[in-house]
Structure 1
Amino acid sequence: MGDTLLQRWLYDDFGLDVVELSPVGHGADLAAQVWRASTATNRYAVKWSGAGTNTGHQVAAYLGDSGLPGVPEVVRTVEGGLWTFHGKKKRLTVTPWIDGRRAADGGLTVEQWSQYGVLLRRVHDAEPPARLRDALPKQSHIVARVPGLAAEVRERVSEPQDEVEAELAGLWARYAGTIDVLLADDPPVPEGPRVVCHGDPHLGNVLVAEDGLQLIDWDDVILAPREQDLMFMLGGMGEVGPTTAEQVEAFLSGYGPHVVDENAVRYYRHIRAREDVVLWSHQALTGPDREDCVRITRGILAEGLAALAVEAC
């Protein structure tokens, strides 16, 4: 898609006279594109995405409008909506641009981990209107796609066609036991109280700004037990989660009182590990950044979320 077309959409849909567009390359979601858009007076983050559900952006708008610190406000369309559709029903959304670094690029200090605990607790304690709460998905939107993608990966690695596929085939052979466990039946579904969960609160979706931490990318919002999000803080996420016991303690201290349901953590860890192994493996076959995808897959299987999930079975 050319810049001129996007600029026209932003003007017609949001009333923004954009003079400069710069693509933003972060993120593993191949279904989404992100730009920094500049007008004569302001800058904005523009996202064109076919991922997730509409309810994610609705939740982000509700939290932002509620003044919850750490959730960016949502820019409305000229008709007062939250998004418009273009292409193959992909959502075009706009939020103010946040100056700051990605937490995944430099980590968080112990104090910032505590602040992040406070932020995530506020999200979980939010009480959206009943109609919005009832519309939230109860499971990951990726779940249904995983079996088909896993079958495709198995077929491709059975007869690798290049060096990258051969390396991936070696990983699937070496960790066949782990992958078989992940693709088998899930642990029991948690039955605890459900709250608004971000769904993907690793450090790649956190910005460190002058006025505090900002939690972005709400495509994976889900109504689930708190452990859906807390799982990311309790081991297996590598550099996009806490890396020391002190950091974990700081996060939990900021988060406040909650008795962690270890069975729920086990369930969400299993689900996420399976998604990560299959999706990163599939991206290693289809691109882009195929070599990096194999490296990430190896880390997940060898010492990351998958290894931890299977160890707990």
Structure 2
Amino acid sequence: MPDLRGWIRADFGLDVTELTQVHHGADAAAEVWRADQYAVKWSSGGTTASYEVTAYLAEVGVRGVPAPLRTQAGDLWSERAGKRLSLTPWIDGARAAATGLTQAQWTAYGVLLAEVHAQEVPARLQQLLPPLNSANARMPALTRQLDHRLTTQPPADAVEAELAKTWLAHRELITALAEPRTPPPGRPVICHADPHLGNVLVTPDQLHLIDWDDAVLAPIEQDLLFLLGGMGTLGPTTPADEAAFFTGYGPADLDATRLTYYRAARALEDAALWAEQALTGPDREASLGHFQAVLSPNGLAVLAVG
């Protein structure tokens, strides 16, 4: 275990007593702990833009976006053992992926995401924020590697055998997702790029959107795809849920071409990364189930190419 207490003391000037690792999400590049009243993240994933974005949104008064604490040197993170160490206030709330949202909470979530999208993008963030999250760039190569392994090599065990069977059954769909596409133009705004309910915490008076590692500068379709179907219980599950969200968000002039592009990019990312994790771990069987869900009749992949 890394010397988190020592690092936090040296970098942030805080002495913490309680230190408990938290296991949520699928980001193998990040480790998260609760340290007293702080959430501690030690990560090599995403980009440094995520800290700048959350600091900016909190600074301009967007409630529900936790701001990173500054180090004693005034930075938003520190470098430790080749990874970035950051602290945010601990939010003692329920994860919306587990509890769901009421109609009123769906509306409140629409208000929150609309407020994020409405913010003027300062010059420094225009320079820092990428147009696509960092995972997208490696998806075509990863998909080819997975395809070669799963279609030409004998499976090592039962999990890989089931993975290969599912891959072969949906190979045409996966290939369609991997076709080269050019991002369609649109007005870029600050996007979270992963705003499903697994990244929403619920407290009695506020919804909180966390884990901004994939933040990008992109059209609204990059975020709104998560609220328009194909995400299972991580998004709205009924027309009433969706309507409640857009009651809060307001009118959205969605472009079908942009929506198809961002859906396909996300579906390929989900399919490839879950397939990779089903091969390498951790949680291989659960990862296989997530992979199959992406490709299911109600999953995002079918919606993206349909």
Q: Give the TM-score range, shorter chain.
A: over 0.9
Q: Answer yes or no: is 1:53 the counterpart of 2:51.
A: no
Q: Answer yes or no: is 1:134 the counterpart of 2:134.
A: no
Q: Look up the equivalent residue of 1:282 and give its one-letter code.
A: E
Q: Look up the equivalent residue of 1:160 and give its one-letter code.
A: P
1:7, distance to aligned residue in structure 2 (A): 0.5
1:128, distance to aligned residue in structure 2 (A): 3.4
Paired residue for 1:166, among 142, 149, 161? 161
- Deviation track 1:96-141 (CA, whole Å, cap 9, x = no partner) reads 0001100000111111111000000000011132122222101121
In structure 2, distance between residues paired with 1:180 and 1:129: 38
Paired residue for 2:137, among 139, 144, 166? 144
In structure 2, distance between residues paired with 1:240 and 1:199: 14
TM-score (norm 1): 0.94
Q: Look up the equivalent residue of 2:113 and give its one-letter code.
A: L
User: Hey, what does 1:22 align to over in structure 2?
Assistant: 20
Q: Look up the equivalent residue of 1:55 and give its one-letter code.
A: A
In structure 1, distance between residues paired with 2:304 and 2:61: 37
TM-score (norm 2): 0.96
User: Hey, what does 1:207 align to over in structure 2?
Assistant: 201
- Deviation track 1:43-85 (CA, whole Å, cap 9, x = no partner) reads 1000011111101111001111222111112211011110001
Q: Percent identity?
A: 53
Paired residue for 1:125, among 95, 103, 118? 118
Q: Answer yes or no: is 1:261 the counterpart of 2:255.
A: yes
1:215, distance to aligned residue in structure 2 (A): 0.4
User: Hey, what does 2:81 align to over in structure 1?
Assistant: 87
- Deviation track 1:239-275 (CA, whole Å, cap 9, x = no partner) reads 0000000111111110012211121111100000000
1:143, distance to aligned residue in structure 2 (A): 1.5
User: Hey, what does 2:32 align to over in structure 1?
Assistant: 34
Q: Answer yes or no: is 1:110 the counterpart of 2:108.
A: no
Q: Is the 8 A contact 2:260 2:305 kept in 1?
A: no
Q: SS at 1:141's partner residue?
A: coil
User: Hey, what does 1:71 align to over in structure 2?
Assistant: 65
- Deviation track 1:169-222 (CA, whole Å, cap 9, x = no partner) reads 000111111111111222x52211111101110000000012210000010110
In structure 2, distance between residues paired with 1:285 and 1:221: 27
In structure 2, distance between residues paired with 1:262 and 1:254: 22
Number of equivalenced pairs: 303
In structure 2, distance between residues paired with 1:127 and 1:119: 15
In structure 2, distance between residues paired with 1:55 and 1:142: 15
In structure 2, distance between residues paired with 1:8 and 1:199: 33
User: Hey, what does 1:306 align to over in structure 2?
Assistant: 301
Q: Is the 8 A contact 1:64 1:74 kept in 2?
A: no
Paired residue for 2:240, among 226, 242, 246? 246
Q: Is the 8 A contact 1:235 1:242 kept in 2?
A: yes
In structure 2, distance between residues paired with 1:281 and 1:120: 30
Question: What are the equivalent positions in structure 2 for 1:175-254 lying under 5 Å apart?
Answer: 175-186=170-181, 188-254=182-248
In structure 2, distance between residues paired with 1:182 and 1:129: 34
Q: Look up the equivalent residue of 1:240 and give its one-letter code.
A: L
User: Hey, what does 1:44 align to over in structure 2?
Assistant: 38
Gaps of 5+ in 1: none
Q: SS at 1:282's partner residue?
A: helix
In structure 1, distance between residues paired with 2:256 and 2:103: 24
Q: SS at 1:120's partner residue?
A: helix
Deviates more, 1:47-56 or 1:251-260: 251-260
Q: SS at 2:230's partner residue?
A: coil
Ranges of 4+ aligned residues in structure 1 off by more than 6 Å:
none
Q: Is the 8 A contact 1:203 1:241 kept in 2?
A: yes
